[in-house]
């Protein structure tokens, strides 16, 4: 399966009379977009555009998406929504690079995150470096949380899809081509290189901790094989409200760095044969079933090693270790990417589970480390959520608008796909 990904560099985003891409700027017709996003579940929707360096704080952030549009090849971006579930990952896709679509709204109340566009907090999120179209949606009275989550999820997908149309006829600044062949061909393409696969664990703890594959709730799937390029077309989207620091936003899924970095070395010093996606269900039976099934699929790929990325912490640490143990038992080497919850002093045990076979770990950092965020000129959203969001605490938000909070509350801070340079080491 081969995909050409065309990056269109976005230098600015502005509201304008017509939604289009012109001279490096994405113009968005505000009223037209608001009309499309109008929803019986929302009492109010507002749109804002923020730039890197702005004295703006956005909270609580639900999801971050990237505008992408399918130019050629089967299916459409975010398959399984909008009535089309055809297979994606081939042909050509355009990406508006340098901007995001961001959804904001108090859903669970204690799981969404903060994005600061400037100041010390900006160091900890990748989204302080992108131009963000922020959609704040307030829900109507009486709406259930899961209905609100679904409504906001669909809002983000619709908005990203709408904005992405501006890229349809734009000339990409850069085109990259990615190809994975069917397994038997792929195994023979680079016979002398070590064969590697990627085990992609997805958050599926339920109760608004969910992820969707071609529109299907990943809680209900058995682990399965995917071509890496399918992910680039939005086959996996985020529906979860878990701790902001290690939640994979839809943007993270679209820009999966493990897939990027494996492709970068594909044919050079490794052969990247494909992706196995699996879930993180909460029952022991499901955990055993999924990890055994994953190990079986990995064995069938005849690989020398796998990278396993986790999403979330605590309960899914058990899944991570099960996947590791069972795959290592097959003689296949593993490297795990996870983050840590070592307490505010960094002295507690970082993971809830462990095993001597998990001897190769890359860390996204200690999520419990605290940070002082200065007051910000403008707040988009509802800032008092800070007092209760995970990583926040009663009194986290001070009278002057400054905040002391764990980096757990910052969107993407300790991402377990290895998106960031931040990690943790032993002192």
Partner 1 sequence: MAEIRVVHYLNQFFGQIGGEEKADITPFSQEGTVGPGTALQKELANDIKIVGTVICGDTYFNENIETAADKITSLVAGFKPDILIAGPAFNAGRYGMACGAVCKAVHEKLTIPVVTGMYEENPGADMYKKDVYIVKTGNSAAQMRKAIPALAKLAMRLVWGEVLGSSAEEGYLARGVRKNVFHKQRGSARAVAMLLQKIKGETFVTEYPMPVFDRVSPRSAIKDLSKAKLALVTSGGIVPKGNPDHIESSSASKFGRYDITGVNDLTKETYETAHGGYDPVYANEDADRVLPVDVLRQLEKEKAIGNLHNFYYATVGNGTSIANSKKYAHAIGEELKQEKVDGIILTST
- Kindly list the catalytic residues: 241
Q: At 203, which helix (H) or strand (E)?
A: strand 195-203
Q: At 4, which helix (H) or strand (E)?
A: strand 2-9
For the purposes of burial, counting CB atoms within 10 Å of the CB of 52, is it exposed (0-12), middle (13-18) or buried (19 or more)? middle
Residue matched to tokens 């299916």: 75
Structure tokens at 124: 């900890």
To the nearest whole angstrom, how small is the minimum distance from the Cβ of residue 283 to partner 1?
24
Residue placing its CB nearer to partner 1 in the complex, 44 or 355: 355
- Per residue, the 3-state secondary structure of 237-281, as one string, reads EECCCCCHHHCCCHHHHHCCHHHHHHHHHECCCEEEEEEEEEEEC
Residue placing its CB nearer to partner 1 in the complex, 67 or 365: 365
Neighbours of 423 (CB within 10 A): 16
Collect all residues with Cβ–Cβ distance below 8 Å to 230 and sequence separation of at least 6. 1, 87, 88, 89
Neighbours of 189 (CB within 10 A): 14
Residue placing its CB nearer to partner 1 in the complex, 337 or 396: 337
Residue placing its CB nearer to partner 1 in the complex, 130 or 136: 130
Structure tokens at 246: 């290690």
Backbone angles phi, psi at 201, to 5 degrees: -85, 135
Residue in 373, 342, 396 with CA at minimum distance from that of residue 56: 373
Helices 284-300 and 315-328: crossing angle, nearest 10°? 30
Angle 184-189-191 (CA atoms, 0-180°, nearest 5)? 95
Total residue count of the chain as it appears in this document: 427
Residue placing its CB nearer to partner 1 in the complex, 83 or 427: 427
To the nearest whole angstrom, how small is the minimum distance from the Cβ of residue 365 to partner 1?
4
Alpha-carbon span 376 to 119, nearest angstrom: 9
To the nearest whole angstrom, how small is the minimum distance from the Cβ of residue 349 to partner 1?
6
To the nearest whole angstrom, how small is the minimum distance from the Cβ of residue 126 to partner 1?
10
Alpha-carbon span 225 to 93, nearest angstrom: 22
Beta-bridge mates of residue 357: none
Residue placing its CB nearer to partner 1 in the complex, 217 or 261: 261
The residues binding partner 1 (CB under 8 A) are 194, 196, 257-258, 260-262, 265, 269-270, 304-307, 333-335, 337-338, 340, 342, 345-347, 349-351, 354-356, 358-366, 369, 407, 415-427
Residue placing its CB nearer to partner 1 in the complex, 132 or 366: 366
Residue in 341, 334, 331, 330 with CA at minimum distance from that of residue 361: 334
Residue placing its CB nearer to partner 1 in the complex, 337 or 380: 337
To the nearest whole angstrom, how small is the minimum distance from the Cβ of residue 258 to partner 1?
5
Alpha-carbon span 302 to 290, nearest angstrom: 19
CA 10 to chain centre: 20
Beta-bridge mates of residue 202: 279
DSSP classification of residue 87:
-
To the nearest whole angstrom, how small is the minimum distance from the Cβ of residue 348 to partner 1?
9
Instruction: Count CA within 13 A, CB hemisphere, residue 107.
Output: 30
């Amino acid at each position: 399966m081969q995909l050409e990904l065309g990056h269109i560099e976005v230098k600015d985003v502005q509201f304008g009379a017509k939604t289009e891409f012109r001279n490096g700027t994405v113009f968005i017709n505000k009223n037209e977009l608001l009309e499309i996003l109008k929803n019986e579940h929302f009492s109010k929707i507002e749109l804002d555009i923020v730039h890197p360096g702005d004295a703006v704080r956005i909270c609580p952030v639900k999801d971050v998406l990237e505008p992408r549009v399918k130019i050629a090849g089967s299916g459409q971006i975010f398959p399984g929504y909008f009535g089309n579930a055809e297979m994606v990952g081939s042909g050509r896709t355009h990406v508006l690079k340098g901007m995001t679509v961001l959804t904001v709204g108090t859903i669970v109340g204690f799981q969404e995150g903060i994005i600061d566009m400037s100041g010390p907090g900006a160091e900890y999120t990748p989204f302080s470096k992108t131009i963000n179209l922020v959609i704040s949606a307030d829900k109507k009275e009486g709406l259930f949380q899961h209905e609100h989550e679904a409504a906001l999820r669909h809002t983000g997908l619709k908005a990203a899809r709408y904005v992405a149309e501006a890229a349809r006829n734009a000339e990409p600044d850069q085109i990259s081509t990615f190809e994975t062949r069917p397994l038997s061909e792929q195994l023979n393409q680079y016979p002398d290189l070590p064969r590697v696969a990627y085990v992609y664990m997805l958050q599926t703890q339920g109760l608004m901790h969910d992820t969707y594959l071609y529109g299907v709730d990943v809680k209900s799937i058995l682990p399965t094989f995917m071509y890496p390029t399918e992910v680039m077309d939005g086959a996996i989207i985020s529906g979860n409200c878990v701790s902001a620091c290690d939640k994979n936003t839809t943007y993270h899924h679209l820009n999966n760095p493990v897939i990027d970095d494996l492709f970068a070395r594909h044919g050079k010093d490794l052969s990247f044969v494909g992706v196995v996606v699996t879930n993180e269900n909460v029952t022991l039976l499901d955990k055993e079933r999924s990890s055994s099934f994953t190990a079986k699929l990995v064995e069938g790929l005849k690989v020398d090693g796998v990278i396993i990325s986790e999403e979330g912490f605590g309960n899914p640490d058990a899944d991570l270790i099960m996947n590791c143990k069972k795959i290592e038992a097959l003689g296949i080497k593993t490297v795990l990417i996870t983050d840590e919850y070592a307490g505010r002093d960094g002295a507690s045990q970082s993971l809830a589970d462990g095993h001597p076979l998990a001897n190769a770990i890359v860390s996204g950092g200690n999520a419990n480390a605290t940070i002082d965020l200065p007051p910000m000129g403008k707040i988009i959203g509802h800032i008092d959520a800070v007092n209760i969001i995970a990583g926040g605490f009663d009194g986290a938000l001070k009278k002057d608008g400054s905040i002391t909070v764990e980096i757990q509350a910052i969107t993407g801070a300790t991402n377990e796909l290895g998106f960031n340079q931040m990690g943790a080491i032993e002192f």
